[in-house]
Amino acid sequence: MDIRRRQPIGVELVRRGIVTEEDINNALDYQKQNPNKKIGDILYSLNVCDPNELIEAIGDIVGTKGILLTSSNIKIRLTDYISTDLALANKVVPFEVAAGKIKVCFADTVNTKSMENVRLLLLNKGLVMESYITFESDIIRIIKNMEGTPTDNLQNTGKNETVTGLVDSIIKTGMERRASDIHIEPMANEVRVRYRIDGELFTVAKINKEKQQQIIGRLKAISNMHQEKQESQDGRILLYEDYNIRVSSQPNVYGEKFVLRLLKKNINIKNIFELGLSISEDEMKKSINKRNSITILAAPTGEGKTTSLYSIIDYLNRPEINITTIEDPVEIRIDGLNQIEIDAKSSFSGSLRTVLRQDPDIILVGEIRDKETGEIAIQAGQTGHYVLSTIHTIDSVEVITRLRKMGLSDYDISSTLATSISQRLIRRLCPKCKKERPFTEEEKAIIEKIGDKYGVKYDLSGTTYDAIGCEECNHTGYYERIGIFEILNITEEIKEAIVNGKSSIDIRKLALTQSYKPLVVDGIRKVVQGITTLEELNRKILIY
């Protein structure tokens, strides 16, 4: 809203009966003390009239649509389209995308340079901008909420707080807010603290730069790192009864950045079906626990492979079975398992050789990283053991390609690999603020197209939900995560294709004629079930 227009706006608002002359005079008096405040924002803060009527009238006066922007209007995640820094600098919030158009709220639609910059940025993403006007205070509040507001425990970052207390507050608050990781990052003029919650990073505090070295010193002291070294280090914090905290430091241009991975001790292992695996128990038994074979879980870093491995192991764990795990590190301790932790003096391959002499029935290898580990894992599978492991790759079919690139033979892969499972973690809708509505025709078309492609029929007669946002879910509209899965069972036909050197494209085509369904099929199923949204699924695996 442009200050240069404030008098005409005031006169026009009085003429339309939105406010009174007395309201305008009071607003102008307030503006003398606060010259950076626009007349519309002042009237809004004074609560002299209906805010919806006020912003709609202001929009009409300046030649733009006016909208009262709230969390319920926002159907997208801001940072998928512009950064929070750019949003704050331009006082702008994108809030809805449909049919190639993106609706964007500005606090000032007369600043054509700012609007043009945003328009071009979005145009480069293939979106046509439709501009709206709203109150500046609401834009700033929403951006701050999306970025992550500082919590009460982190508000006190002044000179009187001890660094010991500050670091303790950062860690304990991260635990309270369900953070999986804490990032403590030196910047040019401050130290930024961010939490990763449900896979997303939120800024929670900005600390005075003068405390940087003290914070670094405290973190090194409690994680048993060398104080004098200005290089990458790994450590561990064991001060908190319920948590084992892994610490990694990495120098950057402004100092040393620390990432703390919060690993809860004695956590209850979730049933594999609770994690989101959408198959029957009979199908599960056919896919895992095959002697003389290997099951591999595939996904990029941070997509829950280890959690799924633990759930499968817990599912298989019985007193009459000898289960041994080789991990880097042991993240969760489970009664009845023989868990081995890799350290600087050991390796997966070396530990695996030793484990084979310990009469195991089932072996969990944290990750197949190289040819040597892969060969020993295959040897274990070929000599009567059941091996579970992980690989970093994009889907279950590409597991075959990854093993080939490591140098493993097609014969060994086909004879030993029984199942590969790929997964992603998507955010669940927040149960406290999700808003029910029917599927739009556009959403139905997207879902039906995917269903037709993979021979799946979805029931779209029910309703879906919008992610709204509330205090409980950090104003994201989502709370916790669930897995989406695809399972490739290595049938006799697929074994033959591997032995004959068929490409992953050919193997995928063959698998699709059998029981294999890609990740998107399970993802759409969870959208239709009301667990997540089409927008969240698209953000994760790009379906439209």
On whether the CB atoms of residues 129 and 100 are closer than 8 A, the answer is: no
35 confidence band (pLDDT: 50, 70, 90): confident
Percent with pLDDT over 70 in the chain: 94
Q: pTM for the complete prediction?
A: 0.70
Strand ranges in 266-416 using DSSP code E only, listed in sequence order? 293-298, 323-327, 338-341, 362-365, 386-391
Looking at residue 160, its pLDDT comes to 53
Q: Is the pLDDT of residue 95 over 50?
A: yes
Comparing CA positions, the residue from 67, 79, 250, 45 lying closest to residue 148 is 79
- Answer with the residue of higher pLDDT: 503 or 44: 503
Q: What are 440-460's pLDDT values in tens digits?
A: 999 999 999 999 999 999 999
**pLDDT digits over 300-321, tens only?**
888 988 889 888 888 888 888 8
> Which residue segments constitute the domains of the chain, with CATH numbers given?
3-145 (3.30.300.160), 148-264 (3.30.450.90), 281-541 (3.40.50.300)
Residue 337: C-alpha distances to residues 79, 220, 242, 245, 324 (Å): 42, 32, 20, 22, 6
Q: Write a three-state SS string for 479-494.
A: EEEEEEEEEEECCHHH
259-276 pLDDT, tens per residue? 999 988 767 778 888 888
Q: In this predicted model, what pLDDT tens digit does every residue of 504-522 receive, in sequence order?
A: 999 999 999 998 999 999 9
pLDDT tens figures, 160-201: 568 888 999 999 999 988 999 999 999 999 999 999 999 888
From the list 467, 473, 507, the residue with the least C-alpha distance to 491 is 507
User: What pLDDT sits at residue 147?
Assistant: 52
Q: What is the pLDDT of residue 544?
A: 74
Number of Cβ within 10 Å of residue 32's Cβ equals: 7
Q: Which of 101, 150, 81, 100 is nearest to 92 (CA)?
A: 81
Q: Give the percent of the chain with pLDDT over 90.
A: 40
Q: How far apart are CA 308 and CA 449, in angstroms?
A: 30
Q: What is the pLDDT of residue 121?
A: 83
Which amino acid, residue 44?
Y
Position 215 confidence tier, pLDDT thresholds 50, 70, 90: very high
Pick from 311, 312, 339, 314: nearest CA to 327: 339
Token pair in block for residue 64: 């733009």
